[in-house]
Structure 1
């Protein structure tokens, strides 16, 4: 891990974002009125994911701006292939009291994914204490935030904003940057627009932002929905939290552990699969998943750790996702 950090640091010092990327979030013109309210301008479309990536319990506001006159082609299987000129904005924030979702909140970071002619570029903008502006910080940063959870208990998180090279650690596929979340399975659900509730894919088709949208479409369940099938919840959870690296074209392809939902039920999904490289990260355990035995499963062991040399995912979180670990524990127990 120290070696990896050194390589990332070298890459960071060599990275120059160039004058074409604004130094302030407001310069993009994505929002109207006071920036902190995150009200999208015309031509900027809010979106949401059914099963979002866990990021230290941060909430997220998501927006996409397509280049004028352009649309994205529907596909049922993978992340949508957005045209050059697309900008995706994702604002990470914490409600000061999770029992009051419409109450005060603290905006931490707005991450811009910009589709340039040379490929996607990830740019982190960190919000100031006054919550009036967010500024480009290619080196990333950390900030302590306090909030109350659903039980009214005070929580503290040392929120980490990744640097521009660490973003590649999750967003890279086949050596190129790509978005992770926006796909048919993740967006086949209704959200609140200015005119009312509407299915996102229907809305995108109706407004000519997406072509060839069919009436029959795949859909993930929400992994927090306890009324949904346990297997379907696990497929959604591992797909969004792990499969961006653990797939045949991702940074973790050499592990042979593929957690894309399409590999569910195969040996590559980890059941009684030996790790390619044993070491401290395996905790001395022999298999990625041992049916019925979470305590003997490497997947559970690494998810349940916050040791930087052990934990998975190794980027994007600094604390344990207790509910996610509980979900995987329950699922492994159910296997036979």
Structure 2
């Protein structure tokens, strides 16, 4: 019996299999093919996500926490400054406060409203604590105490009409990134505060190791702002633990009181640490378990992380909680955490020898900003795509081990797509270590695709995207990207055997020698690095890429792909004339302008991550619709290092050798861009960007 996979490939596969197709039959296909076989299901997983307040939208939510005494009341903290009071029972919300209306909140990528906590005695004193950054000349981090007189419906105002505010901690920030900002009360009734190392790359001020600054630390103070009895020898009194780069979300185990923290890495490893009083967690001397190349006068002793993972699994850890709820007994005692870039949800399971084993629970496809825990110990995910409760699975379904069993290929010839798939092509393909690609998508019957305002295709749940990769005319990989029934996206790869008769499912990432070239099969988490929700998840399936002719093998007819999709009834709404005017240019088209070719290349290879709302910490925006002066690159200092080239900036017109945009393309593999296909440098593409930069005389 064939399995149903959700693959998501969007364009038109001509009337394969005699589908009934609605539409006029104009364009490249005779009608829409029927597709009951190649549709996505929820793959085997230990948990599932249940939407919370799914009818409400939030902008960059960073935190959710439950009211200290009310069952259905949660608070959602948005980076821009708003705190919502959410009633999950009634699915309604009200605004507790908007700090941006009363304070000059800093609006850099890692600034804004970053943390919130309730006083352990909130029922009697009404104290609420907020952590945020303000722009007053420079960037300053504050932890301040406010007061609510109505059980958390509003914050008390001062006699002058502003918020009644008591600053407990004030810390200037030398750079715009690594602000940390999470706050929480521990079981000891004291307030813990996490601050990053102050920013830039490699902690240039060695602040995380210095005991004379609060940066790069976990701090502990009393509720009135006075230092607790931390007793870390030679340190400023607030320091509880140090040697941290950017602690992003940490929590206390409600059963043991242990403090668990995720610490965001530089270029190699993300860490999970168990924080103890006086502990030194290594940064900038160590990243993960390995010594860095940074000079480091501190000799330790250093505390190793509980676990670390590399760039193949994610780019920015999001710390979570030790699960102590009752609905998922198999996870009780395990530490759950995620990654903002990939959305992978992991568990660290305790082993008999005191170590922990990491395992994947779910590929969510979301940008996970934080976790939340309710009073019963059940856990929630706070993502840029919505709020979710983590629940046990209803049933398990395993992915087929063989490609021929997926229902997405011809069972007697897996090299050919199933009848229900629709082939498509793009104007400017993504660089994939020199491989050629063919593309298909499977759309569930009686569903349609929405074209959003940006021109991206929004696929219905159950969609399957399929891509075949060939090197030297040899089929080496078939890659699926599935829009699962719970709304998440997940990617999977099948590796072809030497005879080309079938392919088998790849578990995790894998490097294989293919004819003398190392080919990388990405893990499911790596797929999410590029397939960002900000870019519509499906990447090449957008008006700017698809507005071109294609010869359909089913009919032999050549027609515009967008016209064909509309004719056979695939589109919920047709692209506007304005959207059609934004069309990419093939970067190899020497008849086109150098600017059009370069910007199309950057849109395809960079903009899925470098755009507003995407997973990168950079503020660059390489969408084709963004003017060069607004890309955030011209003469801009890098946040994450200059590859050892003093004076290099993101983009310097007329000087590619000092432009990191070009230098990253030809750099060592660990720091090369794009981040996935990095075994082979795209020499032609690099030369294109080099020539384009060198002929620029300005960014205007």
Matched, 1:164 2:164: no
Return the alpha-carbon distance in structure 2 between the equivalents of residues 192 and 200 of structure 1. 9
**Deviation per CA, 1:72-107, whole angstroms, max 9, x where unpaired?**
12346242100001000011111x3xxxxxxxx211
Larger Rg: 2
Residue equivalent to 1:226 = 590
Task: Kindly state the Cα deviation for residue 36 of structure 1 after the two structures are TM-superposed.
Answer: 4.8
**Which residue of the other structure, out of 552, 568, 574, is the alignment partner of 1:213?**
574
Structure 1 pair 83–311 and aligned structure 2 pair: CA distance change class (3 A)? same
**Which residue of the other structure, out of 454, 478, 483, is the alignment partner of 1:115?**
483
Return the alpha-carbon distance in structure 2 between the equivalents of residues 50 and 76 of structure 1. 20
Return the alpha-carbon distance in structure 2 between the equivalents of residues 282 and 238 of structure 1. 24
Return the alpha-carbon distance in structure 2 between the equivalents of residues 180 and 67 of structure 1. 19
The answer as to whether partners of 2:664 and 2:671 remain within 8 angstroms in 1 is yes
State the superposition RMSD in angstroms.
2.3
- TM-score where L is the length of structure 1: 0.86
Unaligned runs of 5+ in 1: 97-104, 147-155
Return the alpha-carbon distance in structure 2 between the equivalents of residues 180 and 282 of structure 1. 32
Return the alpha-carbon distance in structure 2 between the equivalents of residues 45 and 58 of structure 1. 21
Structure 1 pair 269–331 and aligned structure 2 pair: CA distance change class (3 A)? farther
Task: Kindly state the Cα deviation for residue 332 of structure 1 after the two structures are TM-superposed.
Answer: 0.6
Moved more, 75-84 or 294-303: 75-84
Question: More strand per residue: 1 or 2?
Answer: 2
Return the alpha-carbon distance in structure 2 between the equivalents of residues 224 and 145 of structure 1. 26
Matched, 1:135 2:504: yes
Return the alpha-carbon distance in structure 2 between the equivalents of residues 239 and 34 of structure 1. 39
The answer as to whether partners of 1:29 and 1:41 remain within 8 angstroms in 2 is yes
Moved more, 221-230 or 1-10: 1-10
Task: Kindly state the Cα deviation for residue 267 of structure 1 after the two structures are TM-superposed.
Answer: 4.1
The answer as to whether partners of 2:436 and 2:470 remain within 8 angstroms in 1 is yes
Return the alpha-carbon distance in structure 2 between the equivalents of residues 309 and 162 of structure 1. 15
Return the alpha-carbon distance in structure 2 between the equivalents of residues 319 and 223 of structure 1. 18
Return the alpha-carbon distance in structure 1 between the equivalents of residues 576 and 640 of structure 2. 45
Residue equivalent to 2:651 = 289
Secondary structure in 1 matching 2:513 = strand
Task: Kindly state the Cα deviation for residue 198 of structure 1 after the two structures are TM-superposed.
Answer: 1.3
Secondary structure in 1 matching 2:309 = helix
Structure 1 pair 250–215 and aligned structure 2 pair: CA distance change class (3 A)? closer
Residue equivalent to 1:249 = 613
Return the alpha-carbon distance in structure 2 between the equivalents of residues 162 and 274 of structure 1. 31
**Deviation per CA, 1:41-61, whole angstroms, max 9, x where unpaired?**
332100111001001000111
Task: Kindly state the Cα deviation for residue 316 of structure 1 after the two structures are TM-superposed.
Answer: 2.2
Structure 1 pair 33–27 and aligned structure 2 pair: CA distance change class (3 A)? closer
Structure 1 pair 214–311 and aligned structure 2 pair: CA distance change class (3 A)? closer
Question: More helix per residue: 1 or 2?
Answer: 1
Residue equivalent to 2:225 = none
The answer as to whether partners of 1:138 and 1:163 remain within 8 angstroms in 2 is yes
Return the alpha-carbon distance in structure 2 between the equivalents of residues 207 and 282 of structure 1. 54
Aligned residues: 313
The answer as to whether partners of 2:466 and 2:481 remain within 8 angstroms in 1 is yes
The answer as to whether partners of 1:168 and 1:177 remain within 8 angstroms in 2 is no
